[in-house]
Amino acid sequence: MTATETEIARARRQWSKRGSFWAAAAVLALCLWASGAPSTLYPSYAAEWDLSPVVTTSIFGTYPVALLLVLLLAGGISDSIGRRRAMLVGVGLIVASAFVFAIAPNVSFLFAGRALQGVGTGFALGAASAALVENNLSKNPRFASVLTTVSTSTGLTLVLFVSGGLAQYAPWPLQLSFWVLFVLAGLAFAVVWFMRRDNPPRAVGPDGKPARWKPSGIHMPRSLLRTFIASTLGVIVAYSVGAIFLSLGASMARDLTGTTNLLIVGALLAISSVVIGVTALLLQKVPAHVSLIVGAVISLAGLGVMELTAAQGSIALFVVWCVVGGAGYSFVFTGGLTLLNRTALPEHRGGTLSLLYLFSYLLQAITAVVAGALATALGLNAAIDLVAPGVAVLCLALITATTVDVVARRREARLVGVPAT
């Protein structure tokens, strides 16, 4: 091979890696776009079909429940069939979910659409997160985790603006934003289709023939347990705060502003996701353990602001809550992913990340449904008063688990005579 041919081959490999990296980032943004698409529309659905808060939060909670089932049965599937194939399945199901939402004649279609979104995200999320790590374009290993946070917050920010604006000013207020999602998901499917093939070698059965993949649980090395607990608690705190915000935030914004303008409501909700993305960009040099502890403290402060917002009915405090809560989310989410990405074994990375998402979405679903049930039975303010302490306990558990991991790492480093990481 000549020098020119070698350079061309190297450029193709680099382009293939670069393309796969950005394709995975696009899939992560799409997952959060799909997740947040109904958020500004929940009050409209409630008015259109006379839905109670517990029904709207149950619609929200259907997504993580469906996702959990996929993660339980096929959480490590991308380790077996490759990141690209898993993402194609996931994005294809998100395309189908957008169609179901767009034609929804009643509330049962909303539950079906959310279920399809959850299943699609279950296939795509862990695979895309692992693909970012494996195709990282930066020498900084934290960059993949930071971009995961930025991608997901970008998808959520854009959908809150787009769905709010379309619902307020365009025709077909309950349908058009989902047709937009349908087109975007179709484009993402095409982009992933042209990713480089990353199919791992097929496992061989006892008879010497290629073994067929079958549903199985997710396995994690016991040596990773301590770090996994700290990492997962970080993402759990982020998702639990996000569950309160996305399931009840639109109603709070409408009550506090006295407006029915969905673009204004969407813009208010988008403040938090903008802060998440901007904060993540500043975290590339922050150690994961520091990010987790600082994020837990900020999240505790955010819960306090949320309580004050509900008690005083202040739109200014609502904005402060968006900012503080968004910053806390970014710290704990990015810190959790960075810590786990750094320690997970490459051959089990997809499954390990899926296990992290499994526990995180489980707590998100519980938080959303409990908050909705309490809001229906006791009112919005009482629901927040009762849910906030539970999330505060998770923040304290995160601080404890992270501290334990730091101390244990330093002790282990002293025993082997190398610096702790």
pLDDT in tens, 97-143: 999 999 999 999 999 999 999 999 989 988 898 888 888 888 887 78
Instruction: Output the pTM of the full model.
Output: 0.77
Range in 161-170, 260-269, 288-297, 315-324 with the lowest mean pLDDT: 260-269
Q: Which amino acid is at 10?
A: R
Output the six-digit token pair for 387.
């849910």
DSSP labels, 314-354: -HHHHHHHHHHHHHHHHHHHHHHHHHHHHHS-GGGHHHHHH
How far, in Å, CA of 157 to CA of 64, rounded? 20
What residue segments make up the domains of the chain, in order of their start?
12-198+217-416
Point out the least confidently predicted range of 55-64, 85-94, 258-267, 293-302: 258-267
- Position 207 confidence tier, pLDDT thresholds 50, 70, 90: low
Is the CB of residue 338 less than 8 Å from the CB of residue 69? Answer: no
Q: What is the DSSP string of 371-416?
A: HHHHHHHH-HHHHHHHHHHHHHHHHHHHHHHHHHHHHHHHHHHHHH
Residue 356 has pLDDT above 70, yes or no: yes
Measure the CA–CA gap between 21 and 149, rounded to whole angstroms.
14
Within 10 angstroms of residue 52's Cβ, the number of other Cβ atoms is 14
The pLDDT confidence band at residue 13, using thresholds 50, 70 and 90, is: low
In the prediction, which pLDDT does 191 show? Answer: 92
Q: What gap in Å lies between CA 283 and CA 273, rounded to an integer?
A: 16
Mean pLDDT (the chain, rounded): 83
At 275-285, the pLDDT tens digits run: 998 898 888 88
Domain 12-198+217-416 class?
Answer: mainly alpha
Return the minimum-mean-pLDDT range out of 55-59, 129-133, 296-300: 55-59
Output the six-digit token pair for 418. 């190398």
Residue 263 pLDDT grade (very low, low, confident, very high; cuts 50, 70, 90):
confident
Residue 12 predicted with pLDDT over 60: no
The region of weakest confidence among 123-132, 320-329, 373-382 is: 373-382
